[in-house]
Amino acid sequence: MVRLIHGGVYLINGREILTADAYRQKIRSQPHIQVTEQEAAHNTISSQIISSHNVGSGENLELKFDMLTSHDMTNVGIIQTARACGLKKFPLPVVLTNCQNTLCAIGGTINRDDHVFAYTAAQKYGGICIPVNISVIHTYMREMMASCGAMIMGADSHTRYGALGTMGVGEGGGELVKQMMNRTYSLKAPKVIAVYLSGKVNPGIGPHDVALAIIGTAYKNNFVKNAILEFVGDGVENLSMDYRNGIDVMTTETACWTSIWKTDQKVRDYMIIHGREEDYKELKPGKAAYYDGMVYVDLSQIKSMIALPFHPSNVYAIEELNQNAQDILHKVELDALELTGNSNLRLNLSKKYYDGAIHVDQGIVGGCSGGCFENINAVADTVRGGSVGNSVFSLTVYPDSQPTYLELVKNGSIGTLMQSGAICREAICGPCTGAGEIPGNGELSIRHNTRNFIYREGAKPGDGQHAWVALMDARSIAVTAMNGGRLISAENHDIAYSNPEYHFEKSIYNKRIYNGVGNPKPETELVEGPNIKPWPEIPALKEHLLVKVCSYITDPVTTTDELIPSGDTSSYRSNPIQMSEFTLCRRAPDYVSAAKQVHEIAKRGETGVNVWSEPKMSAVLKGIRALPEGKHLDEREIGLGSTIYAKKPGDGSAREQAASCQRVLGGAANLVEEYATKRYRSNLINWGIIPFKTREMEKFHNGDYIFFPYVKSAVSGKQSSMIGYVLGNPIQKITVTVGELSDEERKILIDGCMINYYRN
């Protein structure tokens, strides 16, 4: 079904796959096809696009993007940061969407206030603003902005437009601000992994089935981490554009950096339908292209899949799950106990299996992965003439844009869905972000959405609230709905899928969307509601650093939803201080109070108070003085902050608040074994949090103080390794590393954050 090919792989004429040894043998016998390995590496589509966007000449890439996009979880913070850095106008197209915090009742006026702020920012700086309910962020970018050979950066982890020939990169807001300030995005040249699609999918198998099969195979062993996935092979031409987009948007869950697909007539037709034929060009590998590895996918062998709680990589074939339901559901419960760190929780997922089947309570199809035209038509074809029933089970669909919705109305699919008892909602990201359709306590929801993290979809284990979310394709969700919520796959059902033709109605966008690209109006006043607050002042890095460990998390992976839960914080995303109160609230409830205690001491020290004479800090200073490096140092040159230890933090969302909230509370460093994603590490750096890595985590614990002498000199001197001291009894030395840092990143850390760097 899906297999990984390790080591170098050559692709000849886009079809023939050869190992490095086999390629060398081939060119000896057929010298006319000889291409050197270096030339073959440049023959990938990825290399062609990266080269055209690299403005640097050094070892690292320095990339300039063609356009930017963000949504209303990140819009305000990005604009506020850019303003503080000196923004005058957008130097490239910037799309501000409003598709996540659309419930304008929670928190009073503040959600709507943020939407108005985005509109006035688009006017003032010359951008595009998408009103609420018009389109989800990634659908609009596919329909109107993606072009073959382009690069788009978005403040959302699912920024993926590879199926349209555009490299989409999801990053924290700080990286978007750099582009707004005419700076570059710096990284070491990533690996390029080929995803070779072969054959055709069987009836009833949808894009989520293919995506989950790939994620389940590639995620856990870091095979494609921070790499580019390049989709090639004869199977690509057998997939429609909705199908390709549905697979592509889920590549984020493999932990890759970005994705790109070869383009063909179907991509050209997509551009023609959307009135943008000039944005098409053919992209394909050269006659001999070299890849660092390959994910080989036999589409004909893909089964109906399900990703069980609480990660998109927790994948099973639905057939396998149904055959071993009790054992697998019990394993998920045990994993949840380990994930929460609370062995006393009373979980109830196993109760969903009775009468010989797994019973689910809710089905949802929507967002950038599920809400596309073909998926919803397939659901309508499945439920036509039937009923979703009048029991607790419910089925809800969210078309991904108003143009999609209109076409579904015109072809009768919306009517068919409503007649079955399904609910048809507006174009929002709500269920995907935990801002709508939250399951009840103990309920199991199946969703054609992008994620199923434990703290995203309503679960609050600390409060005794347990909600379970699994990911499935729309086709199997619809079949399950027609079976009263009994979990079942679509692959063995004879359903006549109508596959109607799609017609795009652009006038919907013309009549509602503000487009001020190239026409900034600097006289426009930004409308700031009472919850929109500027960033607090952040101090520069001092010569020495003392941190207190305020949270110690040993989970295999810590997601950004654990670092800063999306649902709880959605109303306060534009108020940095208020939002920081929710940091780690579900995973480590004591963190905020512990970090604030350290921060209050540090703030008093910044005002000139001699905090080192206070009893607690005097004892810590005594420990520092006992060190060889501490005997004669000036305590005024010791910076004080908090830190967290997490084994592998940062999987999930690109939201910079996962880092900025720590910084607002005085966070000065992270201590980790490894970082789950580049974007989380970048967020830390942009907010002045030093990204330490260590293998000596057993030497310190929650509540310990760790002293790092001469850390500022080490950062400026380009040292990758530093020494720290755990101030316990006895004092223990630890070694930490910061990895590769660009010159700009080092200056940002020294200045204390990106805002200070640009001010300076």
Is residue 601 in a domain?
yes
Q: Do 421 and 561 lie in a common domain?
A: no
Question: Are 182 and 198 part of one and the same domain?
Answer: no
Task: Provide the domain count of the chain.
Answer: 4
Q: Which of 267, 301, 335 is the last residue of a domain?
A: 301
DSSP β-bridge partners for residue 696 = none
Q: Note whether residue 525 is domain-resident.
A: no
267: domain CATH number is: 3.40.1060.10
Domain identity same for 358 and 421 = yes
Measure the CA–CA gap between 747 and 756, rounded to whole angstroms: 10
Domain end call among 152, 170, 186? 186
Residues 712 and 575 in one domain: yes
Return the H-helix or E-strand segment holding 259. Answer: strand 258-261
For the chain (760 residues), the mean pLDDT of every run of 10, in chain order, is 90 88 75 74 95 90 96 90 93 93 73 92 97 94 97 94 97 93 92 96 96 94 93 97 97 95 97 97 94 96 95 94 93 82 77 94 93 96 93 93 96 96 87 78 91 76 82 97 94 90 95 96 94 92 97 90 77 88 89 96 91 91 91 91 95 85 96 92 95 95 96 94 94 94 94 92
Examine the fold and report which residue of 495, 528, 561 is the final residue of a domain before the chain moves on.
Answer: 495
Same domain, 267 and 160: no
**CATH number of domain containing 393:** 3.30.499.10
Amino acid sitting at position 76: V
**361 assigned to some structural domain:** yes
Instruction: Specify whether 175 is located in the same domain as 71.
Output: yes
For residue 673, give the nearest of 653, 644, 715 by alpha carbon: 644
Model confidence pTM above 0.95: no
The amino acid at residue 269 is: D
Q: Domain range spanning residue 133?
A: 65-186
In a domain, 566, yes or no: yes
Closest CA to 101 of 423, 434, 460, 362: 434
- Report cis status (omega within 30 of 0) of the bond before 31: no
Claim to verify: residue 369 and residue 451 sit in the same structural domain: yes
Same domain? 747 vs 655:
yes
Q: What CATH number is attached to the domain comprising 746?
A: 3.20.19.10
Residue 163's region, left for phi above 0, alpha for psi from -120 to 50, else beta, is: alpha
pLDDT at 28: 67
Between the CA atoms of 602, 606, 612 and 616, what dihedral angle is there, to the nearest 10 degrees?
A: -20
The token pair at 577 is 């201080």
Same structural domain, 378 and 460: yes
Asked if residue 380 is part of any domain, the answer here is yes
Q: What pLDDT is stored for residue 31 in this prediction?
A: 64
653: closest CA among 223, 172, 208? 172
Q: Helices 678-686 and 657-664 meet at what angle, rounded to 10?
A: 30
The SS3 of residue 553 is strand
Q: Does some domain include residue 504?
A: no
> Same domain, yes or no, for 252 and 329?
no
Instruction: Classify each residue of 559-583 as buried b or exposed e, where b means 16 or more C-beta atoms within 10 Å of its C-beta.
Output: bbbbbbbbbbbbbbbbbbebbbbbb
The CA-based diameter of the chain, rounded to the nearest angstrom, is: 83
Q: Is 122 among the domain residues?
A: yes
> Is the residue at 171 inside a domain?
yes
Is the same domain home to 176 and 210? no
Q: Do 599 and 640 meet the contact criterion of CB atoms below 8 Å apart?
A: no
Claim to verify: residue 384 and residue 431 sit in the same structural domain: yes
Q: Bridge-partner residues for 647, per DSSP?
A: none
Alpha-carbon gap, residue 1 to 23, rounded angstroms: 25
